[in-house]
Structure 1
Amino acid sequence: MQRIRKVNLMTRTITVGLDGSAESRAAAEWAAREARSLGLPLKLVHVWEPVPEPMAQAPLRGAETQAHWTERIPREAAAGLRLRHPGLDVTTEQLSGHPADVLASAAKDAELLVLGSRGLSGIGGFMVGSVGLSVVAHAERPVVLVRAGEQAANEHEMDPVGIPSAATAFRPVVLGLDIGSPDEELLGFAFAAAARRATSLRVVHGWNPPPYYAYGLASDLELHGELARREATALAEVLSPWRKKHPDVEITEESPYGTPGNHLVDASREASLVVVGRRIRRSPFGAHIGPVTHTVLHHSAAPVAVVPHS
């Protein structure tokens, strides 16, 4: 019995930043499904910022009143998740401080940190706020962004009448890969995600020619073809050992010419999850997300996992 308790203390959680909004509720539902898939507990973290001193003096608006009301958000969310996901271990934690800093810190002990993001009306995509961007830029564990309105069925293929259905197979997992610096953590995360979903992995490597080729490329079809074959060969070489490690995962390789972020956004429309990387840079000038990841975060039509790596 004592041994089991020690193991549980070391178990990582799927952690969700919860603020009661529609986007954070969608994130909690996504995280609950992922927690069950991984066999891990789910933790709901609610962060509230202490009110300024003058406001704390005001009737019915003080810090104690705010804390009392905000306790309801994770408590009620946890109760609903337990009903919808029987057997899932759901815990709650309420913390105070600046949300971006607190959530980035909470990610340290998590297998995944899941956040919500408002969907853009009319077109697929996210509206990523300053808190979400800051957490993604600073967290050293994978962060998944889920937009408001995201449902389980959206991750699946169409049924015979053309409607996404949780009864059909998962859509592919899409991985954005820079073959110049392929990272094992990023690749491992994407392959594991595809394997859990029993779906294929679509690896997208967008490329642009070196500057000294750019001027003549548009008119030189032979040169363009040679560069395209070179990129495709390099991508195949990177993925070759991973094919052997994961023989059950079907892999589709794509190395299209053009801006990588745009190709990943296009691929996201038929994906269950988009996986991109973020290089960890401990710089005095602050953290950096990178242009490709930044584009995908703002315009993806599917949940996005950002995997930090060295």
Structure 2
Amino acid sequence: MTAQVTVGFDGSEASIAAARWAAREAVLREVPLRLIHVDEWPSAPELPSTYARTHADRAESLVRDLAEEVRKEHPDLEVFTERAHGRAADVLAAAANEADLTVLGSRGLGSVLGFVVGSVSLHVVGSARQPVALVRTESQQVTRSPTGIVVGVDIYHACEPLLGFAFTEAARTGLPLSFLHCWPLPATYGYAALVDPGLGEELGERLEGGLEDLLEPWRKRYAGVDVTAEAVMGSAAYQLVEASRNADLVIVGRRTRKVPVGPHLGHVAHAVIHHSPAPVTVVPLA
């Protein structure tokens, strides 16, 4: 793995927003920025060579212009450009495995909060062994008052890579961290929970204690990071999307599962990357 931030760029407004966001991340991390344009233009013999040359020239110009723009905005940032050929999903997934962080753009849904996440982004997010961030198109971002980084955490499963990424990101940016563990009221509580609402409150307090225990060693290691933690009753997907409306960044985990075909993305991560108005980073877990 190379210490760098990689961004997939295709000339769209979404990928330009992703590149700008990725450049700021690279500066914070003090690592180079790698701009990759994947050329999927068919190279069949029957295509006139003039079309192929025009497409190649346009792609080269797009990458060069973006690199120059980034260098002007961040004069001390080392920027590499690369034009690759092949299936974009495979090329970018392989590149993501070589970088500290990979950033991709996603088109917003206009007045509706959320992402339009294409097959390329879903493939990379679902298969990469390193964190991948999805960034909204700048012109379609809703006016918000971001208050920090929101992290979805499951206290029942090991999530060291997620915690490490979140605390390190907060330390770099100076942003506060807000951890959410979401839980449904067990069905076994049934009628008793309706008669005595305190049963749910008691369980919530126990879960919040478990969350605090999980975070305690990280709090000590990152003593300068402002951290809050809360166990919230309800759907994890819904609660995280709601919390994302006032977040600078949302961080969720993705567990590796063996499926017959294609990459797997859990329903919580899937919902968050489609509906969060803030950038979302998906961290692969064991």
Using the size of structure 2 for normalisation, the TM-score is 0.93
**Aligned residue number for residue 18 of structure 2:** 27
Q: Does 1:69 find its partner at 2:58?
A: yes
Higher relative contact order structure (alpha carbons within 8 Å, sequence separation ≥ 6): 2
Q: Compared with structure 1, are the counterparts of its residues 41 and 108 closer, same or farther at alpha carbon in structure 2 (3 Å cutoff)?
A: same
Deviation, 1:215, is: 5.4
Q: Does 1:139 find its partner at 2:115?
A: no
Deviation, 1:266, is: 1.2
Q: Which amino acid aligns with 2:186?
A: P
Distance in 2 of aligned mates of 1:150 and 1:278: 29
Equivalent pairs counted in the alignment come to 286
Distance in 1 of aligned mates of 2:98 and 2:144: 27
SS, match of residue 14 in structure 1: strand
Alignment of 1:116-155 (within 5 A): 116-149=105-138
**Aligned residue number for residue 41 of structure 2:** 50
SS, match of residue 151 in structure 2: strand
Q: Compared with structure 1, are the counterparts of its residues 23 and 231 closer, same or farther at alpha carbon in structure 2 (3 Å cutoff)?
A: same
Q: Does 1:307 find its partner at 2:272?
A: no
Matched-pair identity in % = 47
Residue of 294, 298, 304 corresponding to 2:274: 298
Alignment of 1:56-95 (within 5 A): 56-58=46-48, 60-62=50-52, 64-95=53-84
8 A Cα contact 2:108 2:140, kept in partner: no
Q: Which amino acid aligns with 1:114?
A: V
Unaligned runs of 5+ in 1: 1-9, 158-170
Distance in 2 of aligned mates of 1:294 and 1:87: 36
Deviates most, 283-292 or 98-107: 283-292
Q: Does 1:103 find its partner at 2:92?
A: yes
Distance in 2 of aligned mates of 1:259 and 1:210: 12
8 A Cα contact 1:182 1:238, kept in partner: no
Alignment of 1:165-244 (within 5 A): 171-214=147-190, 216-244=192-220
Q: Compared with structure 1, are the counterparts of its residues 280 and 18 closer, same or farther at alpha carbon in structure 2 (3 Å cutoff)?
A: same
SS, match of residue 83 in structure 2: strand
8 A Cα contact 1:26 1:151, kept in partner: no
Aligned CA RMSD, in angstroms, stands at 2.2
Distance in 2 of aligned mates of 1:155 and 1:25: 21
**Aligned residue number for residue 167 of structure 1:** none
Distance in 2 of aligned mates of 1:38 and 1:151: 27
Q: Which amino acid aligns with 1:34?
A: E
Using the size of structure 1 for normalisation, the TM-score is 0.86
**Aligned residue number for residue 161 of structure 1:** none
Distance in 2 of aligned mates of 1:215 and 1:129: 44
Deviates most, 278-287 or 104-113: 278-287
- What per-residue deviation string (whole Å, max 9, x for no partner) do you get for residues 256-299 of structure 1? 11001111111111111110000122444432110110010001
Distance in 2 of aligned mates of 1:71 and 1:218: 64
8 A Cα contact 2:38 2:85, kept in partner: yes
SS, match of residue 233 in structure 2: coil
Deviation, 1:210, is: 2.7
Deviation, 1:65, is: 3.5
Unaligned runs of 5+ in 2: none
Deviation, 1:117, is: 0.4
8 A Cα contact 2:110 2:140, kept in partner: no
Q: Which amino acid aligns with 1:262?
A: Y
Deviation, 1:124, is: 2.5
Distance in 2 of aligned mates of 1:242 and 1:59: 58
User: Counting strand residues as a fraction of each chain, which structure ranks higher?
Assistant: 2
SS, match of residue 95 in structure 1: strand
Distance in 1 of aligned mates of 2:35 and 2:144: 22
Distance in 2 of aligned mates of 1:22 and 1:15: 17
Distance in 2 of aligned mates of 1:121 and 1:283: 34
